[in-house]
Structure 1
């Protein structure tokens, strides 16, 4: 539902315009409201109040002059007849501007009386009051009607009014109707599209239509006022095809300079290099927060001029960049520009460009020592049992061999040393010197073989797994886990504002806090020394890990389970910037095509190629060093077997020698 609010300004003496048929003018204005000034929201009307009119008397009512009071009544009558919008009339006191409903206006109709010398001051005062309300919308349609310019040229009046409008947050979607009582000849209607319609050359009172084009014909944000058309009092029928609100943004800006400021840290911004041309220094800025605005500037044929970037998380520097944007020193601000209510009050924000999640980046758990992992594979009692089993089997073998069974005399295991050798041989998976013959020894032997096979399988599986990748210590999951460790929290200055905005009460829980603004050093110290933790974006931590080329991110980049906040970044523009709509179109098309994901992948790949490799744990080659404990155990077994063999051979040799030569 649409709403009209009539704001009544200070009392003035009104002029009038004679010679224009009221019925024709009312029909003309009604067609403009219905066909060209359509809008989906409240329309605010600002007009003079307590008008003192000195008008001659006329016999025919239609021949009476057109005054501001008559235009006011005519607007109300037209709106009431067609039920276009509900109507709300306000009093003239400026403080009552704040009683205007807090609904964003989509249209404004302003009446200007140029008969007074202070008309520009009155217009400025009215716009100041409108801008101070929460319903102010500089992107709405503005229709300005100026009446009576006997002493002021129409071009001068148009430039003064439209330039004043543009100074209020770049109001450019405005049209000025100048109703003149100066007689003119050979008038013509100028239509959009370079089409001229010749009108009667006998014209007296004239209506001029002006609009402001900041980028017309290669101009770069200049206050160029263009005459759209002019009519005589009897030529209103030729205005049906006229476009009163033509597009103000060209498809080609012909190399106009686009000044881009930037705020943020890597990977949103990366400074490549800078060049100095005269007194100006131009920077080459890249990053996922800059790519889409850069494509926009390239497609629209802008000359991009990057101002010095602010690559620091400092709240004061961020406020300075916002002030530069509001003062018009920058045409666009890119990087870490969050979509917040406070930001939307200061600047126009584009459609969302990039979504980032803020989490606590904590040290990842350290790898477990390989030998420690092997020893912790089983408990101490299990290790003792595993060591006692071969000893007990050897003792049982020796005991059973000394018990005759069914006249079977088996002497292969009648010595305790031979029983230990047989038990060790089965454990290593090699053959025994002699197979047992009795049933009881065979049953014990087969059970022991199955046991050794199972143990060997378990050891091969676990040893191979834990020696190559022994695993990690317990990780941190909650804020309470971090508090218990006593790690130092690195806090940035910009968190003070974020804590107020997002109510980060959990930061007050940390006992050890260090304030810093060097994000890169904090991440580097976290990755290598693991002596602190920070509040970081998931993309920032991943980018820094790729810069140092840690192969596996899951072993280096670790976060707590819960997210602290989610930031949606956009591009900030000055209030009323004409680039917002076309920039949003580029953002939508590029995001749908996956352009930002491709840029992110290419950025990580480029960083990894340029980085120094500190660790590559993407895969581990299985080599001799990983099997060294197993080979050491095997070598010890062989050495023990060799010693036993030498001892047996020596004993056998000495026994044979003494038996053959007893005299020696």
Structure 2
């Protein structure tokens, strides 16, 4: 059987006076005080987030109910000058009234529940409603005021309330519980007991963080005055300088080069270990600053590594685990997104990243084209045109010369167009032509002009031919986003990119595919079948590890246009008590150059590890092989393919001609 602790109206007024004293001492004038309750008020009706009229007064004839107590508290707090007051009924949803970026300095949470479990649930419900706002400030001062309770273990109740508040990272709290044993000494009555939370204290049950101690009592003495018994501070230092080895819970997943393992044994969900990577090195330094250890959670169970907005105010992945306070810190090369999630905060950024398009590198030109790629098509066209033109001119000069001359020409090598073409073709190939051209100045001038022209062209051609045989050059490389989108190649991006870059949902990127299987996509990029929008840091490292050829050149290329810049940070729940300290450590690491040093060292080490598997060509010279002369053999085979049928056709024609002559002779006979 439970006996309810009965308090007179006078005792209740003393309780209100205690609350007013705390507000006066600990809430800075000019700041906003939030009063939250979960009890329907019958005398006054306050809507969620409505400011109380200072001229409004609650006439309470007798204080016998919790509803009356709530009204009296609201009225007395509203009469305090130089402080804004907002009341909030937890049965409603919070309506944000202050501009974004402003913070509330203090919260008063009232509970009229009487049983232990009901009180804890009621406080948790109110906090859950209050934290669903951008102005939620878990670093504010919290006063938990229990109006009336049954016979309970006050210390245990205060610890459970503190633990419930800790899930929202509320530390600076005081729990006011009506004193069950009111008589302390002669003419002295204990009205309220004030308990404060002291997390991270040195205990044998680390990481148990809930610990409440009786800090003071509000009493009514023989002089008819009420005050705190010891008048000690209700906001002592609650976060120690060191955590005595208590672990920080880390939400992450394996993603090179940020979070890795030196070895890859089977992962034990109960003992997940990451011991390599840029963010692991940074996190180790952060843990040292607070003398804490690290405890890694298993990767997100929803298969969403970074996390996406599920559309109902919740997030998946690492972002969701931090928002739900399931972990103390979230890492994984995560871009800043604290402007999107109300329940998280971001530590000081330590890297400036960029999102770029990574496309297949340009493929080498086919080696069979090496013979023709020395000159452009326009030059080849001009050369062939000049060849035909000079042959025609030579033929015409010979005709005119023969008609004018009275002597018959001794050399008939240029007597027809076909013979001129053959002679000049021989000059092109640097072969011997007719060694006795007609002794005519005009003919020899044309011949000399063609020889000089072919000599110049051949010299340039042969000077560049060897280079093209060894290195045929690269085909056209995609160099802009417009070229990429117009090329028809398939494009992809990470699932979390859509939440960070709303432009991707536009018509321009309507064919973009989203995936979290980056390894498969990167393989396809290297094979030339897809392009991906990815982080510059991640892709540079992966390229150095996996995607370089025998000459040490990357086989995944980037478009030198930054799609969007981004800053890399770490997530913590809003109100994380070590944020300021960790920000200072990160600032020191960045300014000292350690972060950049660790990053360059990771890339250099990855390149050395990959170099063991490479077989670079010995020396700086390249020995010519059959593959280098591929184009020459192709043209040789093409020549054979044309000449052999031509020769056979000529033989066939000769045989047919002889047969016709023989048949005609036989007919005459």
> What TM bracket, shorter-length normalisation?
0.5 to 0.7
Cα-to-partner distance string for 1:120-149 (whole Å, 9 max, x where unaligned): 746754652453242433332213456799
2:143 maps to 1:143: yes
Change (3 A) 1:156 1:362: closer
Correspondence for 1:535: 533
Correspondence for 2:198: 213
Correspondence for 2:170: 171
What is the deviation of 1:597? 2.5
User: In 2, are the aligned partners of 1:39 and 1:106 still within 8 Å (CA)?
Assistant: no
What is the deviation of 1:503? 1.8
Change (3 A) 1:19 1:136: closer
Indicate the SS of the match to 1:273: coil
Change (3 A) 1:160 1:622: closer
What is the deviation of 1:212? 0.8
Change (3 A) 1:153 1:563: same
> Distance between the aligned counterparts of 1:184 and 1:373, measured in 2?
107
> Distance between the aligned counterparts of 1:382 and 1:372, measured in 2?
19
* TM-score of the superposed pair, with normalisation by structure 1: 0.63
2:288 maps to 1:291: no
After TM superposition, list the pairs within 5 Å mapping 1:620-659 onto structure 2.
Answer: 621=621
2:332 maps to 1:335: yes
> Distance between the aligned counterparts of 1:224 and 1:254, measured in 2?
15
Indicate the SS of the match to 2:272: strand
Q: 2:94 aligns with which of 92, 98, 112?
A: 98
Change (3 A) 1:609 1:347: same
Q: 2:473 aligns with which of 471, 474, 481?
A: 471
Correspondence for 1:587: 586
Q: 1:32 aligns with which of 25, 29, 32?
A: 25
* TM-score of the superposed pair, with normalisation by structure 2: 0.63
Cα-to-partner distance string for 1:89-127 (whole Å, 9 max, x where unaligned): 56xx5555534525554223426578x735974675465
2:352 maps to 1:359: no
Correspondence for 1:16: 11
Correspondence for 2:544: 546
User: In 2, are the aligned partners of 1:261 and 1:321 still within 8 Å (CA)?
Assistant: yes
What is the deviation of 1:609? 1.9
Change (3 A) 1:557 1:361: same
After TM superposition, list the pairs within 5 Å mapping 1:363-378 onto structure 2.
Answer: 363-369=360-366, 372-376=369-373, 377-378=375-376
Change (3 A) 1:221 1:451: farther
What is the deviation of 1:215? 0.2
Correspondence for 1:223: 210
What is the deviation of 1:391? 11
Cα-to-partner distance string for 1:557-607 (whole Å, 9 max, x where unaligned): 323465555554432334544343333333333233333322222222222
Indicate the SS of the match to 2:138: coil
Change (3 A) 1:589 1:121: same
Change (3 A) 1:498 1:45: closer
What is the deviation of 1:262? 1.4
> Distance between the aligned counterparts of 2:11 and 2:211, measured in 1?
28
User: In 2, are the aligned partners of 1:253 and 1:300 still within 8 Å (CA)?
Assistant: yes
Q: Mean alpha-carbon deviation: is it higher for 472-481 or for 458-467? A: 458-467
User: In 1, are the aligned partners of 2:545 and 2:607 still within 8 Å (CA)?
Assistant: yes
Correspondence for 1:578: 577
User: In 2, are the aligned partners of 1:26 and 1:74 still within 8 Å (CA)?
Assistant: no
> Distance between the aligned counterparts of 2:158 and 2:618, measured in 1?
70
Provide the aligned length of Structure 1 versus Structure 2: 570
After TM superposition, list the pairs within 5 Å mapping 1:336-485 onto structure 2.
Answer: 336-340=333-337, 344-369=341-366, 372-376=369-373, 377-379=375-377, 380-384=380-384, 458=460, 462-463=464-465, 466=468, 469-478=471-480, 481-482=483-484, 485=487
> Distance between the aligned counterparts of 2:109 and 2:533, measured in 1?
55
Correspondence for 1:641: none
Indicate the SS of the match to 1:283: coil
> Distance between the aligned counterparts of 2:103 and 2:145, measured in 1?
19
What is the deviation of 1:335? 1.0
What is the deviation of 1:554? 7.5
CA RMSD of aligned residues (A): 6.2
2:130 maps to 1:128: no
What is the deviation of 1:174? 1.4
What is the deviation of 1:73? 5.1
Indicate the SS of the match to 2:477: coil
User: In 2, are the aligned partners of 1:265 and 1:311 still within 8 Å (CA)?
Assistant: no
What is the deviation of 1:296? 1.3
Change (3 A) 1:328 1:136: closer
User: In 1, are the aligned partners of 2:249 and 2:327 still within 8 Å (CA)?
Assistant: yes
Change (3 A) 1:32 1:619: farther
Change (3 A) 1:502 1:617: farther
Indicate the SS of the match to 2:577: coil
Cα-to-partner distance string for 1:365-413 (whole Å, 9 max, x where unaligned): 1123466345232542454589899999x99xxxxxxxxxxxxxxxxxx
Indicate the SS of the match to 1:281: coil
Change (3 A) 1:164 1:53: farther
Change (3 A) 1:163 1:624: closer
Correspondence for 1:526: 525
Q: Mean alpha-carbon deviation: is it higher for 311-320 or for 249-258? A: 311-320
Change (3 A) 1:280 1:98: closer
What is the deviation of 1:504? 5.0
> Distance between the aligned counterparts of 2:569 and 2:284, measured in 1?
14
> Distance between the aligned counterparts of 2:22 and 2:574, measured in 1?
30
User: In 2, are the aligned partners of 1:489 and 1:533 still within 8 Å (CA)?
Assistant: yes
> Distance between the aligned counterparts of 2:16 and 2:542, measured in 1?
74
Correspondence for 2:647: none
Indicate the SS of the match to 2:342: helix
Change (3 A) 1:503 1:383: same
What is the deviation of 1:520? 1.8
> Distance between the aligned counterparts of 1:147 and 1:132, measured in 2?
20
> Distance between the aligned counterparts of 1:18 and 1:40, measured in 2?
25
What is the deviation of 1:208? 5.4
Change (3 A) 1:616 1:523: farther
Cα-to-partner distance string for 1:470-494 (whole Å, 9 max, x where unaligned): 4321122455644654434457666
Cα-to-partner distance string for 1:177-221 (whole Å, 9 max, x where unaligned): 568654359xxxxxxxxxxxxxxxx97658755321220125424
Indicate the SS of the match to 2:271: strand
> Distance between the aligned counterparts of 1:251 and 1:450, measured in 2?
89
Q: 1:107 aligns with which of 99, 105, 108?
A: 105
> Distance between the aligned counterparts of 2:302 and 2:12, measured in 1?
61
What is the deviation of 1:540? 3.1
Cα-to-partner distance string for 1:67-106 (whole Å, 9 max, x where unaligned): 887765554343x1xx2x334556xx55555345255542
